[in-house]
Amino acid sequence: MADGKPRSVDLDVARSREVLDYVARNGEASVRELYDALHGTDNSMTEAELASLLWQLSHEGKISLEDVKRTSRSFTKLLARWEINLGLYSSLGVALGAIISIYVVSSDLPWVVFRWFFVSIFLLFTPGYVSSKILFPRATDFDSIERFMLSVGLSVVILMIVGLLLNFTSWGISLTPIVVSLSILDAALVTIAFVVEYISKG
């Protein structure tokens, strides 16, 4: 018991610092947004513990709490919350990186390594990851390993469906149609994911 108390105090201090840093970076935030953002780094924290911590910080005058009615938030503010949306923005970055590595970067070593890296993620992870964010938008729905495995599985399924559909078109299954199709699909899925998140957070 003697060793548990200092550890608990240190944990509370670390959590308080995370809350204050998040609020400083993003401005106002709901308890749900704070919980979703912090749960990724501290999945042992419960909603009750976060609520107690916020009440303590408010009592100390470090933050202010307001009981506000549920109103629709600005979509622009949602897009500006980079910490929550980092995965979606990274998906667009991977798609852009794949396009550049295929059509701009040299196919000679060592530059071809960048092509392998971006294209592998673009094909085998990104489509499934964004789809998982649409189907399960909350960070607490899965842990990191579960979401990774789900993303890879969904990506394989999506890739097979895209290839099957392209096979029945005049373009056929070749490099450019696949890249264009997956890029458009990725952008569409990211847009839908943002809309789902906007609706779910109110």
Confidence bin at 39 (pLDDT 50/70/90) = low
Reported confidence tier of residue 8, pLDDT bands at 50, 70, 90: low
Categorize the per-residue pLDDT at 5 as very low, low, confident or very high, splitting at 50, 70 and 90. Answer: very low
Other CB atoms within 10 A of residue 125 CB: 17
83/89 Cα distance (integer angstroms): 10
Determine the pLDDT at residue 4.
Answer: 47
Nearest to residue 31, comparing CAs of 57, 61, 59, 60? Answer: 57
The H-assigned helical ranges of 27-174 are 31-39, 47-59, 75-80, 82-103, 112-124, 126-135, 144-167
Please tell me the total number of residues recorded for the chain in this structure. 202
Residues sharing a CB contact under 8 Å with residue 111, sequence separation 6 or more, in sequence order: 105
Each domain of the chain, given as residue ranges in start order, spans 4-59, 75-201
- Dig out the tokens for 196 from the structure: 């789902």
Comparing 11-15, 84-88, 143-147, the range with the smallest average pLDDT is 11-15
Question: What is the rounded average pLDDT of the residues 46-72?
Answer: 73
* Per-residue pLDDT at 69 exceeds 70: no
Q: What is the pLDDT of residue 148?
A: 93
Position 167 pLDDT exceeds 60: yes
